[in-house]
Structure 1
């Protein structure tokens, strides 16, 4: 069985899915068998096949192993809000063990490079008691951190790395994703992250709105992950 990773972000709307698709494409180029899961998603559109989430569909398109939508995204809420609030509104209870069960079954599919993408930041609540970080812990997955490069990202990145380490998981790599094209001292901020973060940089991605996974893959490197 190949390697599996949890993709976390420093915040919401910082390009976790975009970078995950780029990483999958990079692995595809190496002829690796790839799969990706988005266990919890908030924000759905009605399609002929039923409710669908854009992030989950993008991951399905980028992975080389075909899975059903329900395998990729077992829990989907229509409103694009925090999962625990969406669950409350839908009268559902989310638990880490339930999500871990869904993921374990799908992760048994033979693959070389598998990604489980979180929702929001590391400590996004799932319920009144649990956070989504608990899923990464339950599955014992090493973490790849996507850093949305904008003002304030240094603090977000270092606090997230600290929380990951405190939860007992290894941070195995990070990607600097330039979400703010006007961010001042961009290069200096990336250098600061390289000094402070205890993991290799897997890529520095320029501001590329709407870029294809292939275009993103040019700026990414998965060799520090052992490939």
Structure 2
């Protein structure tokens, strides 16, 4: 089975658009491709219809499901759906929940039995906290280590991206994970010296650039997939 872990240099840098584009790209060679968002913080309550129960739904999860070629139970593709749009560990505390990486790992392996490819989208940046208690701390990076998947890093092109990208790369490599590639996604259309920053990233990132997308909030994932190179 083919699987990737998608992370970002920060929140709001285009992880979901990259994950959805990756799903569409994988669908060219795989029949059953599913996106997984293990932890989604910031959900709306959706009332059930036709006897089906209601559920908390995050817009990123909805986008991943729309891009996927197979519908799976929510427990598989989104084990933790939390109402508050804050850091996952705080959102979980507010909801009276505890994010268990072991449970996410079990959900991933259960999902992997039914599909040909999985795209796992992390929450926030690479080391965003998932669980914090006295003597315990678990982050999205710890989850990536547990899953042992090649990582794709989404770099939000804006002022400060060089530091964020290189620090995140260091953390990925230091944890013994493979950086399979990176996506350059423009999030500030007026960013000064954009091309110079891109050249620096090309020179110092230790993996290939899979795509370079300009500022285009209306771009559809299937369209972006046409310019995305698979690792």
Among 194, 210, 218, the alignment partner of 1:202 is: 210
Which residue is 1:119 aligned to? Answer: 123
Supply the distance in 2 between the matched residues of 1:53 and 1:210 (Cα, whole angstroms). 19
Contact between 2:9 and 2:126, CA under 8 Å: does it hold in 1?
yes
Say which SS state the counterpart of residue 93 (structure 1) adopts: coil
* TM-score when normalising by structure 1: 0.93
Supply the distance in 1 between the matched residues of 2:100 and 2:219 (Cα, whole angstroms). 35
Which residue is 2:181 aligned to? Answer: 173
Which residue is 1:100 aligned to? Answer: 105
Which residue is 2:153 aligned to? Answer: 145
Which residue is 1:69 aligned to? Answer: 74
Supply the distance in 2 between the matched residues of 1:28 and 1:208 (Cα, whole angstroms). 23
Cα-Cα RMSD: 1.3
Which residue is 2:165 aligned to? Answer: 157
Supply the distance in 2 between the matched residues of 1:57 and 1:98 (Cα, whole angstroms). 21
Supply the distance in 1 between the matched residues of 2:19 and 2:45 (Cα, whole angstroms). 24
Which residue is 2:91 aligned to? Answer: 86
Deviates more, 1:92-101 or 1:15-24: 92-101
Deviates more, 1:207-216 or 1:35-44: 207-216
Question: Shift of the alpha carbon at 1:32?
Answer: 4.7
Contact between 1:205 and 1:220, CA under 8 Å: does it hold in 2?
no
Larger strand percent: 2
Contact between 2:34 and 2:115, CA under 8 Å: does it hold in 1?
no
Question: Shift of the alpha carbon at 1:101?
Answer: 1.5
Which residue is 1:189 aligned to? Answer: 197
| Structure 1: gaps of 5 or more residues | none
Question: Shift of the alpha carbon at 1:170?
Answer: 0.5
Runs (4+) of structure 1 exceeding 4 A deviation are none
Which residue is 2:22 aligned to? Answer: 23
Supply the distance in 2 between the matched residues of 1:41 and 1:82 (Cα, whole angstroms). 10
Supply the distance in 1 between the matched residues of 2:196 and 2:223 (Cα, whole angstroms). 24
| Structure 2: gaps of 5 or more residues | 49-54
* TM-score when normalising by structure 2: 0.91
Deviates more, 1:57-66 or 1:9-18: 57-66
